[in-house]
Amino acid sequence: MTTDPRQAALTAATTPEPWDVLVIGGGASGLGTALEAATRGYRTLLLEAHDYAKGTSSRSTKLVHGGVRYLAQGNVSLVREALHERGLMKQNAPHLVRDLGFLIAAYKWWAAPFYGIGLKMYDLLAGKLNLQASRYVNRAQALARTPTLKQAGLKGGILYFDGQFDDARLAITLMRSLEDHGGVTLNHAPVVGLIREGGRVVGARFRDDETGQEHEVRAKAVVNATGVFVDDIRRMERSDVKPMLSPSQGVHVVVDRRFLPGDSAIMVPRTDDGRVLFAVPWHDHVVIGTTDTPVPETSLEPRALPEEIDFILSTAAQYMDPAPTRADVRSVYVGLRPLVKAAEGTDTKSLSRDHVIRISDGGLITLTGGKWTTYRRMGEDTVNRAAAQAGLPERLSLTAGLKLHGATTEDLPDHWKVYGTDAEWVQSLPGANQKIHQALPYTEAEVRWAARAEQARTVEDVLSRRLRALLLNAQASIEAAPRVAAILAEELGRDQAWQAGQVRAYTDVAQGYVLR
């Protein structure tokens, strides 16, 4: 067993000296904000109730994109900003972001010129940070790129380029980057109340979920970046506050790579409900999604509705041959979108994905909305507001050119690439050649690394977010859980009862990802 780094982080977090910036929430927006603050030299603490990217931030469509459909809605400024940030993400985290071709198949004579014009606009808005120019492809070229496209009536298509990434791995990379720049981060540390003095929010109380002990921390600026749960934190300041969000859920199914064996993704520009649908190769599997269903309340583990699964599979069947069926689904995952409330009667798919910052009378800074692609810009905007609000010394943002932890352009093999320059350290640990399950690419060394270097505290932390086993093959991940629990117990100094409890808890969660 190695020394547990959590105690050091807890000691640092609970120092009596007030922090410059306290960020509540360890998803895309919280991590982006905390890294922004730390790189400006502000003393920064981030508290995460569960685990980094536990919620929406690990359940995206895995795209770094400008938002083709926002362009169709006429939101040019949002698209331009997102395309700029897409280019920065690729420069700053080349081990996690890559170019991916997307094919819009044309089955009607007008489709290719119609979509081609819009995608030329997309290229232009990206400016010098554009990835590759969109172009027309004929029928043979379309089938060479995506051999499982339905052939009947296919005329050709438009090929355009966007980015692809691993969302939870980017979250862990941001957490490591934050530590590299002197920030302190703590997961499994839910905020249970805000500290107020003279009507001002001056800190928070949090519980260490591993001991049950509560602690107080003080800060000059407190940022609520808890995604779909921002209203819960806002109610800690004022119980009668009006909710900000109209959450909706997006469902994805994951199937084997044989359903999309080429080197491109498929993009369906207009589904029967007016959304876009993607089929995207990812970690040698295929992610297909998504839906947009308003939900009355937020949940840590949202579940797909049967009609959402049917919609995804029936839409995929219009374009793919062979098409996946329910029996082919390896995992189903659901993310909640933190959509900011609009006027009564507006459907969620037309709500803006732009981010919103609100400051309460007591000074609580709430950041919500937005998407992974613009995480850095969201953080920059929030810290600008927080610094002004708290009277912190004005300092320039450095994150536009900041290489993230592990950044390398070296072409590492298969799944080791997400570790970047850390890969050789991971591979030097015991079990680097021992898989945790034959249906998964991951090794025992990676479990040890997750515990030692990446703050993994539970089997779920490892199998869902440090490794992506839960999303790639939920059943295989359940079968791998006992071995992962045993390695974690060895690393963290836990007993047999802890292991058994961890396997039970993980199995309960993971069963929800298995399509029955």
Evaluate whether 352 touches 75 at the Cβ level (below 8 Å).
yes
Residue with tokens 């390896």: 330
> Which of 321, 340, 359 is the last residue before a domain boundary?
340
Residue 73 lies in a domain: no
145 plus 177 within the same structural domain:
no
Q: Residue 3: its pLDDT value, please?
A: 59
DSSP-derived secondary structure letter, 242: P
134 plus 188 within the same structural domain:
no
Percent with pLDDT over 90 in the chain: 89
Note the pLDDT tens digit of each residue in 282-322: 999 999 999 999 999 899 999 999 999 999 999 999 999 99
Question: Could you tell me the pTM of the whole model?
Answer: 0.96
Measure the CA–CA gap between 488 and 503, rounded to whole angstroms: 11
Q: Residue 344: its pLDDT value, please?
A: 44
> Hey, CA dihedral for 290, 295, 297, 301, is it positive or negative?
negative
Give 486-490's long-range contacts (Cβ < 8 A, gap of 24+): 487/431, 487/444, 487/447, 487/448, 487/451, 488/447, 488/451, 488/456, 488/458, 488/459, 488/462, 490/1
Q: 346 pLDDT exceeds 50?
A: no
Question: Looking at 169-173, 191-195, 368-372, 486-490, which range is the least confident one?
Answer: 368-372
Residue 255 lies in a domain: yes
| Average pLDDT rounded to a whole number, residues 214-234 | 97
Range of the domain at 263: 93-162+246-340
108 plus 136 within the same structural domain:
yes
Residue 69 lies in a domain: no
Residue 97 lies in a domain: yes
The tally of domains found in the chain comes to 3
Tokens encoding 4: 């547990």
What CATH number does the domain containing 118 carry? 3.30.9.10
Evaluate whether 332 touches 308 at the Cβ level (below 8 Å).
no
Q: Residue 4: its pLDDT value, please?
A: 72
Measure the CA–CA gap between 94 and 165, rounded to whole angstroms: 10
Residue 254 lies in a domain: yes
Note the pLDDT tens digit of each residue in 454-509: 999 999 999 999 999 999 999 999 999 999 999 999 999 999 999 999 999 999 99
Residue 62 lies in a domain: no
Q: Residue 353: its pLDDT value, please?
A: 55
Instruction: For the chain, give the mean pLDDT.
Output: 94
506 plus 425 within the same structural domain:
yes
Q: Residue 288: its pLDDT value, please?
A: 98
119 plus 256 within the same structural domain:
yes
Q: Residue 414: its pLDDT value, please?
A: 76
pLDDT category of residue 431 using cuts at 50, 70 and 90: very high
> Which of 312, 340, 368 is the last residue before a domain boundary?
340
Alpha carbon 411 to chain centroid, angstroms: 23
Residue 147 lies in a domain: yes
What CATH number does the domain containing 13 carry? 3.50.50.60
> Hey, CA dihedral for 380, 383, 47, 513, is it positive or negative?
negative
201 plus 272 within the same structural domain:
no
| Average pLDDT rounded to a whole number, residues 237-255 | 95
Q: 352 pLDDT exceeds 60?
A: no
190 plus 336 within the same structural domain:
no
